[in-house]
Amino acid sequence: MSKRVSDEKYEKTLSFRFKQWFEGSKDPYLDVVEMKKQEERPQIQRHEQEERTILERVYDIEHNAKMRLFQKIYRVFSIVFCISLVFILLAAISHLPAIGTEERPINNEVSQRYIENGLQETGAVNIVTGMILDYRAFDTLGESHVLFIATGTVLILLRKEKKKKEQEVLEFSDRIYEPKNDVILQTVARVLVPTIMIFGIYIILAGHLGPGGGFSGGAVIGAGLILYLNAFGFKKTERFFNMKIYQRMSLCALACYSICKSYSFYTGANEIHSIIPLGTPGAILSSGLILILNICVGTVVAGTMFTFYAMFRKAN
């Protein structure tokens, strides 16, 4: 039978140290590692020190020779550039032909072609519409896409997914500048909005016969939608014109425009006779594809105007 060891001797044994380590009853670094009192760190953070260093070394003009030299060169270069630009512009203007002479750049064979052959080649009585949607149709296609891209950018930046309660709060605060139940505004809107819509449609459909077209007619329809929104609010307006409807209308209009003009570009570039008749000048169904293109452009413009206004109003 083993003899009992005293507590003093037991505390010196390896088994006792292992037991303390295993149970975690003693810090192994206590009285072993030298401990020092932590020094107080400066209150200024690291990025503030770096910013101060940059300001002292780079933007200290009084003690920074390179910065002083750069500013001198910058000022001299700015003066030289402005004087040179003014001289170039004056020299270019001095070589232009006098106002009213036949040698002016604006009086060339392009405008002469539009005026003399526009009705015969496009079938549009309105020469401006024939020029925009026939001779320069590719440029107009780019302008329509720019409107669509601009609207998409606004939607990405300003659109927020709102819950049902937030929608109710939005509808309640929708009339910040106009009363919710303004009888005068709503009565006037009921009379004017249908008239504005019909007038905008007329401008689009008759754009190849007289002053008007897709851009101006779309602007009129967009103004009518904005008036209806101001009078009756988002809840009633979104029953017949919301974001999904605008997206589908714009997509269909741009796709139709692209398909129609792709056909015209292909036939024109390959000198192929187009099967689409120009019709009788002065009739509503005439000028080839110009009537369809006017409808497409008017759809995009009207939706873009209303969407811009609605998104900025919701964002505010």
How many alpha carbons fall within 13 Å on the CB side of residue 121?
Answer: 15
**pLDDT value at position 221?**
95
User: Cα Rg for the chain, rounded, in angstroms?
Assistant: 38
Spell 105-142 as b/e; 16+ CB within 10 A means b: eeeeeeeeebeeebbeebbbbbeebbbbbbbebeebbe
Residues 6+ apart with CB under 8 A from 253: 144, 295, 296, 297, 299, 300
Q: Does pLDDT of 83 surpass 90?
A: yes
Angle at 307 between CA 302 and CA 313, to 5 degrees: 135
Q: Does pLDDT of 7 surpass 80?
A: no
CA distances from 78 to 66, 71, 75, 85, 267 (A): 18, 10, 5, 11, 52
CA distances from 96 to 15, 21, 155, 159, 284 (A): 106, 98, 46, 50, 43
Q: Does pLDDT of 171 surpass 70?
A: no
Lowest mean per-residue pLDDT among 75-89, 134-148, 299-313: 134-148
Secondary structure letter of residue 132 according to DSSP: I
| Token pair for 148 | 């669509």
- Tens digit of each residue's pLDDT (9 = 90 or more) over 256-294: 988 988 888 888 778 788 888 888 888 888 888 899 999
pLDDT: is 123 or 58 the higher one?
123
pLDDT: is 4 or 157 the higher one?
157
Q: By the 8 A CB rule, do 130 and 286 touch?
A: no
**pLDDT value at position 87?**
95
**pLDDT value at position 167?**
53
> Across 10-19, 193-202, 258-267, 273-282, which has the greatest mean pLDDT?
193-202
Q: Does pLDDT of 159 surpass 60?
A: yes
Lowest mean per-residue pLDDT among 64-73, 114-123, 214-223, 257-266: 64-73
Amino acid at 98: A
Residues 6+ apart with CB under 8 A from 26: 20
Mean pLDDT of 100-120: 79
**pLDDT value at position 75?**
92
